[in-house]
């Protein structure tokens, strides 16, 4: 499954190739009726099955699909495209309604077996705060003592934030039964072998209610090989407590497997709010989280948003923040957010300082502290990360604020504090001594957060402000809220901030 995912990613960003995602956005009524000619039938079938399972799509029978003259029934295709759009919106993809390569790649990601559109009529929660659980079966893919330890840790992650107690039982009946199963295990939701669906759980209730099943065919692990059991267990236990899926990319309750070993596994702000809305706040919550509050997923409409780094990547502009990035494509109006690790796995750290694309060498360069990473087509070049002294920086420079690459001049400008450095990419040497930013780039504040060249202007970012700099007149020609660069035009509007449910 890992191999497949990587192959799919490669198809998205191979140099010189226009991503197949490049369909212009259309309004609903403009979605073409005739679109079966697009993806191969197998992919169409796979997508239908995915949407049926996770988005409550009800495919019509073959006969209904085709009108008497053999043409595709418009109503059916509209239904299908609407469901594709619903799925694309949930995952932050451009909602084209088309089965793009990127859409199919997301559909193929390993994930939880529960639906993304389950509408709970009323919140179903346990009416007690002490729950018992039991681990049954003998077919553990890994040592039983370790499995027990992982599950105890997973429950603790929830009881740290909500006033719950979880007690393990070895013999008697328990509220929550946890087990591993292969294939069809007689609950109406068979597992599918390696990859695909990893686990599922049942809402709180009697009998099977609250139970959690793991696919025994997966390669479960305690680290980053295969699938991390703790990461999946925390997610499934969330369902066992009554939580639905969240479209918040940083949430544990996000339906796709997102585990990044470089990042500490923790509940996001959204997970914490959701579970506390159901069960209340754990008495230990403040003492446990006052110093390290649960991380909020960045919101492109947050008026206080700032960027870590901004870079071009082929036709796209990438805006980096924490472990996430927004991808702005010239052909789409909507700017989708993804995890940095979704594109470059664990080769690139989060909380970056600076990033630039060197088109001539066909590489992208990442900076954090005194280290830098060079990647070619998603792969880390051998011997990296290396020290930024390679560029000619003295050891007094501990980090780079921003990097600005000019394709035609084969020049990269680095910004550190009040200074800027000119690096000749052809000779691989620093040109002369650093100069003052206020002399070279009048009107640009220091230190800056990020710099990038696109659409004929140099763009600087500092705090929540975006500065557009014209190189010809050597002046800042416009400033504005940084959110405008992410198709968010409603800054300051409280409605667009993360909502509390
Ligand atoms: Zn789930
Ligand atoms: Ca599976």
Q: Residue 319 sits in a domain of what CATH number?
A: 2.110.10.10
What ligand is nearest to the CA atom of residue 113?
1
Does the residue 222 lie in any domain?
A: yes
Span 161-196, pLDDT tens digits? 999 999 999 888 899 999 999 999 999 999 999 999
319 and 451 share one domain: yes
Does the residue 123 lie in any domain?
A: no
258 and 349 share one domain: no
What ligand is nearest to the CA atom of residue 193?
2
Quote the ligand 2 centre to 414 CA distance (angstroms): 47
335 and 462 share one domain: yes
On the question of pLDDT at 62 being above 80, the answer is no
Span 95-121, pLDDT tens digits? 889 998 888 988 998 999 999 987 655
92 and 197 share one domain: no
Q: What is the pLDDT of residue 41?
A: 87
Range with the poorest average pLDDT among 1-15, 225-239, 449-463, 485-499: 1-15
For the segment 139-158, the average pLDDT, to the nearest whole number, is: 90
238, 253 Cβ separation under 8 angstroms:
yes
Q: What is the pLDDT of residue 82?
A: 93
**Most confident listed range (57-61, 260-264, 342-346, 394-398):** 394-398
Quote the ligand 1 centre to 96 CA distance (angstroms): 25
Q: Which residues contact 198 (CB under 8 A, 6 or more apart)?
A: 110, 111, 112, 113, 214, 215, 218, 227, 232, 257
CATH of the domain at 93: 1.10.101.10
Of the chain, the percentage scoring pLDDT greater than 90 comes to 64
On the question of pLDDT at 7 being above 90, the answer is no
152 and 283 share one domain: yes
Q: What is the pLDDT of residue 260?
A: 75
53 and 179 share one domain: no
Does the residue 497 lie in any domain?
A: no
Tally of domains in the chain: 3
Does the residue 396 lie in any domain?
A: yes
b/e code 465-487 from CB counts within 10 Å (16+ = b): ebbbbeeeeeebeeeebbbebbe
Average pLDDT, the chain: 85
341 and 389 share one domain: yes
Does the residue 298 lie in any domain?
A: no
136 and 186 share one domain: yes
From CA 164, how far away is CA 237, in angstroms rounded?
A: 12
Domain's final residue, options 82, 109, 136: 109
Q: What is the pLDDT of residue 345?
A: 77
What ligand is nearest to the CA atom of residue 233?
1
Quote the ligand 1 centre to 114 CA distance (angstroms): 5
From CA 378, how far away is CA 222, in angstroms rounded?
A: 25
361 and 417 share one domain: yes
CATH of the domain at 261: 3.40.390.10
19, 9 Cβ separation under 8 angstroms:
no
On the question of pLDDT at 35 being above 90, the answer is no
Q: Which sequence positions are flagged as catalytic? A: 236
Q: What is the pLDDT of residue 120?
A: 54
Quote the ligand 2 centre to 227 CA distance (angstroms): 11
On the question of pLDDT at 24 being above 80, the answer is no
314 and 270 share one domain: no
Domain that holds residue 211: 128-289
Cis peptide before 228 (omega within 30 of 0): no
For the segment 321-340, the average pLDDT, to the nearest whole number, is: 85
302, 184 Cβ separation under 8 angstroms:
no
Domain's final residue, options 52, 78, 109: 109
Quote the ligand 2 centre to 111 CA distance (angstroms): 9
- For residue 416, the SS3 value is strand
Does the residue 101 lie in any domain?
A: yes
368 and 443 share one domain: yes
From CA 482, how far away is CA 301, in angstroms rounded?
A: 9
Does the residue 501 lie in any domain?
A: no
Range with the poorest average pLDDT among 32-41, 52-61, 174-183, 419-428: 32-41
464 and 369 share one domain: yes
On the question of pLDDT at 230 being above 60, the answer is yes
b/e code 441-454 from CB counts within 10 Å (16+ = b): beebbbebbbbbbb
Does the residue 304 lie in any domain?
A: no
Quote the ligand 1 centre to 112 CA distance (angstroms): 4
For the segment 361-385, the average pLDDT, to the nearest whole number, is: 95
Quote the ligand 2 centre to 201 CA distance (angstroms): 14
What ligand is nearest to the CA atom of residue 196?
2
Q: What is the pLDDT of residue 430?
A: 96
């Amino acid at each position: 499954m890992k191999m497949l995912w990587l192959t799919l990613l490669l198809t998205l960003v191979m140099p010189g190739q226009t991503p197949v995602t490049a369909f212009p956005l259309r309004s609903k009524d403009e979605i073409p009726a005739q679109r079966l000619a697009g993806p191969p039938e197998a992919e169409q079938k796979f997508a239908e099955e995915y949407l049926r399972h996770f988005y409550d799509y009800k495919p019509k029978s073959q006969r209904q699909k085709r009108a008497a003259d053999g043409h595709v029934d418009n109503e059916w295709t509209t239904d299908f495209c609407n469901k594709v759009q619903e799925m694309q919106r949930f995952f932050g993809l451009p909602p084209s309604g088309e089965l793009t390569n990127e859409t199919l790649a997301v559909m193929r990601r390993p994930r939880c077996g529960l639906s993304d559109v389950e509408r709970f009529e009323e919140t179903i929660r346990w009416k007690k705060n002490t729950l018992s659980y039991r681990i049954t079966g003998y077919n553990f893919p890994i040592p039983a003592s370790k499995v027990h330890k992982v599950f105890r840790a997973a429950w603790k992650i929830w009881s740290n934030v909500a006033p719950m107690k979880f007690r393990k039982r070895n013999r008697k009946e328990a509220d929550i039964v946890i087990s591993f199963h292969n294939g069809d295990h007689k609950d109406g939701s068979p597992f599918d072998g390696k990859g695909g669906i990893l686990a599922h759980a049942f809402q709180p209730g009697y009998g099977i209610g609250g139970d959690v099943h793991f696919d025994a065919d997966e390669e479960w692990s305690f680290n980053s090989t295969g699938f991390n059991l703790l990461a999946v267990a925390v997610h499934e236990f969330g369902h066992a407590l009554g939580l639905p899926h969240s479209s918040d990319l940083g949430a544990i309750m996000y339906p796709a497997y997102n585990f990044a070993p470089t990042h500490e596994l923790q509940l996001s702000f959204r997970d914490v709010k959701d579970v506390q809305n159901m069960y209340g706040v754990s008495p230990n919550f403040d003492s446990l989280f006052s110093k390290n509050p649960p991380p909020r997923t960045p919101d492109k409409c947050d008026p206080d948003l700032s960027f870590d780094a901004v870079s071009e990547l082929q036709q796209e502009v990438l805006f980096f923040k924490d472990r996430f990035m927004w991808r702005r494509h010239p052909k789409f109006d909507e700017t989708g957010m993804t995890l940095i690790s979704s594109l470059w796995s664990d080769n690139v750290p989060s909380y970056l300082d600076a990033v630039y694309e060197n088109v001539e060498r066909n590489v992208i360069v990442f900076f954090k502290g005194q280290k830098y990473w060079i990647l070619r087509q998603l792969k880390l070049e051998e011997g990296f990360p290396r020290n930024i002294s390679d560029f000619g920086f003295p050891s007094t420079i501990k980090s780079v604020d921003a990097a600005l690459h000019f394709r035609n001049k084969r020049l990269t400008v680095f910004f550190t504090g009040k200074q800027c450095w000119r690096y000749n990419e052809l000779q691989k040497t620093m040109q002369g001594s650093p100069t003052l930013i206020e002399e070279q780039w009048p009107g640009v504040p220091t230190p800056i957060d990020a710099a990038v060249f696109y659409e004929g202007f140099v763009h600087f970012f500092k705090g929540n402000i975006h500065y557009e700099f014209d190189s010809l007149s050597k002046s800042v020609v416009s400033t504005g809220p940084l959110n405008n660069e992410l198709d968010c035009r409603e800054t300051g509007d409280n409605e667009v901030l993360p909502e509390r449910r």
